[in-house]
Every structure is written in C-alpha cells, then in structure tokens.
Amino acid sequence: MKILENKVAIVTGAGSGIGREVAHSYVAEGAKVVVADVNEKGGKDVVAELIKKGGEAIFIKANTADPKEQQSLVEQTVKQFGGLHIACNNAGIGGPSAMTGDYPIDGWDKVIGINLSGVFYGMRYQIPAMLASGGGVIVNISSILGQVATKFAPAYVSAKHGLVGLTKAAAIEYATQNIRVNSVGPGYIVTPLLTNALDQATLDSIKGLHPMNRLGQSPEVAELVLWLSSPKSSFVTGSYYAVDGGYLAQ
C-alpha cells in the first residue's frame, strides 16, 4: 500500500518549481491532490501531468494572500474529495531587492502578505478541516533565510523567520489532536523563482555559497516534504528541516 493512500492534499504554488514536485511526489504515493496557484496555465498543466501518471488531481486558482480565497480553497477541496489530511504551504515570492532603509512599502506588504500572512490564512482554514477529517499534517516551506539573513531582502527574511515561529506555535497547540506541523528550509534551488530573477553568472556564484558547490533541485526538497507528510515521520512536529547542501553548517 502506498504511504499516502486515501489521503487528500493541498499544495499551494504547485504550478511550478518545488510545489510541482511535491504534488508529483504526493500523487506517486497515492494521495488525491489539489494543485493551487495563481498561474492558471501552470496549475492546469501540472494537473494534466498528474492525471497522465494515473493520479487524481484538480486545479483551483487561489491567491494565498487573500483569506477568503484560502477559505474557498479548503471548502472546495473538502467538497471534491471529502476531507483534508495534508497541506504543503509552498506559495511564495522573492520581492524587491533593497536596503531596509530604502525598501518599498508596497513591496514589504506584498512579500509579508504572501510569504507569511498567506501561510497563516491557509492554516487558519486547513486546521479545522483536518480536525474534522481526524487529523493531518502541514508542511510549510520556509527557507535557509528562515534561520539566517542576507542583505537586501528584509521582507523575505522577516517572513521566512516568522513562518518558522508560526509553525512551532501551531505544532504545540495541536500536538495532542493528531495534527503535525513542520517547516522545511531549502537552500538555493533551481526553480523559476530563482532562475527568472538572476542571470547565469549570478547563479554560478551562488553555487559556491553551498559546501556541496551546487544548487539544489526541486525533487530533493520534495523528498523531504513527502517524508514529513507521511506516517514515517509520526513523532516529528514543530521542527525545521534544512535541505541546503550544507549552507547552514558554515
């Protein structure tokens, strides 16, 4: 029997990158998956890939920074599949690059709105649905910048640090109610979020920031997310796991 057989999962930001690979890993292990993204074409393309592989999946367009859309996402999921057992809150953006004293206010609001408030909104509606389903697992995608900082990204660093704290708070609140909550901190991973923002020379220089001297790949992150989402990690909650090629060990 597959480890996620008969489970229902939501993956936000699943139209590309890490979210896409997480959706594939969930379906491969038997879960029914809701692919959520603001990018309708990307999301529908992923659903087509999953169905082609014999999986059961649907696409729901959702702006995770809007609490009403998060509520609707969960309600549609439960209506379609009868419950909710797993959520991977992955949707995120990089935001502007600027010093804190010059950082654009609208850029701050947007990054915090998607990367931190958006995850809270998701959990706000995911948790009651999971309780009604007998329990569940939430995996929040943070970053290495949820543990350390970098220049010119105060909003991103703040959001990802906050996300780790939010994860811990929810984990201890629901630890006796069969809901586990953990966060994952990827290093620099080859995704559209990275490759669309940086030129090749910059990408090559970033490789050297990791002791393994390379960038990570989305499937490497998805493997960790899958483990945290499965019964194999049944005594793990409130934890932060880096998948970073040794970045944080320095």
Domains of the chain, each with CATH number or no CATH: 8-189+217-243 (3.40.50.720)
Q: Which two tokens stand for residue 29?
A: 């292990």
Residue 191: its pLDDT value, please? 87
Mean pLDDT of 99-106: 98
Residues annotated as catalytic (active site), given as ranges: 156
User: What residues have CB less than 8 Å from 169, skipping those under 6 apart?
Assistant: none
- From residue 2, alpha-carbon distances to 28, 29, 109, 212, 232 in Å are 8, 5, 41, 32, 12
For residue 198, the model assigns a pLDDT of 81
- Residue 17 CA to residue 65 CA, distance in Å, equals 19
The confidence band for 1, taking pLDDT boundaries of 50, 70 and 90, is: confident
pLDDT digits (tens, 9 = 90+) for 176-213: 999 999 999 999 999 887 888 788 888 889 999 999 99
Residue from 50, 54, 60 nearest 20 by CA: 50
Residue 143 has pLDDT above 80, yes or no: yes
pTM, entire model: 0.97
Q: pLDDT averaged over the chain?
A: 97
Three-class DSSP category at 150: coil
User: At residue 149, does pLDDT exceed 90?
Assistant: yes
Reported as a single tens digit per residue, the pLDDT across 20-70 is 999 999 999 999 999 999 999 999 999 999 999 999 999 999 999 999 999
